[in-house]
Amino acid sequence: MPEPLFRLDNFSVAFDGQPVVEGLSLEVQRGETLAIVGESGSGKSVSALGAIDLLPANARVSGERWLEGTDLNRQSKAQWNALRGSRVGFVFQEPMTSLNPLHRIGKQLGETLRLHQGLRGQAAQRRAKELLEQVKLPRADELLNAWPHQLSGGQRQRVMIAMAIANNPALLIADEPTTALDVTVQQEILALLKALRDAHGMGMLFITHDLNLVRRFAERVCVMKAGRVEETGRVGEVFRHPQSAYTQALIDAEPAGRPVPVSATKPLLRARGLSVRFERPAAGLFKRKRPAFEAVKTVDLDIAPGETLGVVGESGSGKTTLASAIMRLVPSQGEITLGETPLGTLDGSALRRERRRLQMVFQDPYGALSPRMPVFDIVSEGLRFHYPELPKEEIARRVAHTLKEVGLPESCAARYPHEFSGGQRQRIAVARAIILEPELLVLDEPTSALDRTVQKQLIALLRELQARRQLSYLFISHDLAVVRAMAHRVMVLKDGEVVEQGPTHEVLASPQHAYTRALLDAAQLEPQEI
């Protein structure tokens, strides 16, 4: 075997003396992709960050680190700064928090070109445009002047990849690069990464919790549990003949089952002709105003008590905008009725009263909870706002009961969000929503940032809560396997329009629209599996 491009030998990481990664050894060859898989907290990201000296000051690393024959343990701070971004590229998990919200895309791309290649002005601008085109982003000129919040998740991830490959690195570390992206964008991102790897001869360290992506994208896999390697080997061999019970459990942790049948026929939520338009400013001071962007176009939907309507589609298809319109978080046109109450005509205190009946669980369990509030305050905040007359003892009783209902101990009420895993944080978010005893929950990608085993637990929890409380769900997801396990009916959105809808098993087994078939092909869900 040739000398590996990148190697860790007996690598360990400890925080304040507490080990979190122990004895990790791995190699990455040029032109090869090595996947690291495992549950949240298994040490995947910590290992990658520690390997390139990006951990906080209280971290202590030991063991050998080598890149292209260079001993990384002997690098000075200045050498590390030169190495990162030039010989090593890093694609972080959450592009929205990794991109600076105060700088335009062109400036952020230009910064890495200036630091590592000395490019400035028009030369940097031209190279930045080339990079955006290389990662298959249309209208590169416009995007250079765009702010991060104006881009979809898939577009932001492509920008992160463009920044990571800007200086032709030898090693690319991709930490959950497709988390929260829909299946078609996942396919595009993975195809892009593979093409860039092959074109530049890069080695790639691919961190993910999605075993389906590992099967399709990596040559070798390293399975981690609680900071240790469970097994490693060729992907096909490990998946066909796992030697570890833990690896087998990961393979078996696919979303399964079906939602409980619904008997109600009268809708709880009814929307007719629902549309959302966003006004766009003029391109310049004396230029004509551009036409408004129609994000959601005359959507009709019904959700019965105890029913789950799944909404699927690519990034930018209007899924989250539709949810925001139903929650009355963005202005919209059309009718929205909850029970007998027309939500579209309400505002002020009347709308706030109705919001007790519908609540939302957001996509990001890390960004959706205030880091400055203990769990008790987070979960009870809505209760204290809507029912100020409740005594403290009753609030404490309801918080304890709700935490128990979502599978969390009462003792966690005094702790802060950073002390919990992603799955636990999402349970806290669910507790915050259901403590008001709503009739409808809007769930916006609630499982996208979670590994498969935790996804399975959350799906079971949501099903149990639905059966016990007769809850209705508007369930937004890019993961068709999760939608199959959760939703009674499914609605497929494309460019703000409904292209297909019906019972989940019928739509996924026999899609009538070419776009739905493309989503299924990208997810590799075979009809016989549905």
Q: Which domains does the chain have, with CATH numbers?
A: 6-252 (3.40.50.300), 269-357+438-529 (3.40.50.300)
pLDDT at 283: 61
Residue 441 burial (CB count, 10 A): 23
Closest CA to 440 of 303, 260, 271, 259: 303
Beta strand spans in 128-188 (E): 171-175
Beta strand spans in 339-428 (E): 341-342, 358-361
- d(CA 278, CA 281) in angstroms, rounded, equals 10
Structure tokens at 54: 């990006």
Q: Spell out, as residue ranges, where the chain has pLDDT lower than 50.
A: 526-530
pLDDT at 527: 45
**Can you list the alpha helix ranges (DSSP code H) found in 8-104?**
44-51, 77-83, 95-98
Residue type, 388: P
CA–chain centroid gap for 498, Å, is 23
Under DSSP, the state recorded for 17 is: T
- d(CA 441, CA 493) in angstroms, rounded, equals 20
Consecutive H or E run containing 88: strand 88-91
Q: In what order do the strands lie in the sheet with 6-15?
A: 18-28, 6-15, 59-67, 70-71
Map residue 453 onto helix, strand or coil.
helix
Q: Residues 472, 477, 478, CA angle at the centre, nearest 5°?
A: 160
* Neighbour-count burial for 273-304, b at 16+ CB within 10 Å, e otherwise: ebbbbeeeeeeeeeeeeeeeeebbbebebbbb
* Neighbour-count burial for 492-520, b at 16+ CB within 10 Å, e otherwise: bbbebebbbbeebeebbbebeeebbebbb
pLDDT at 214: 92
Under DSSP, the state recorded for 44 is: H
CA torsion 48-52-54-56 (nearest 10°) is 90
- d(CA 55, CA 46) in angstroms, rounded, equals 8
Structure tokens at 193: 């990464």
pLDDT at 6: 96
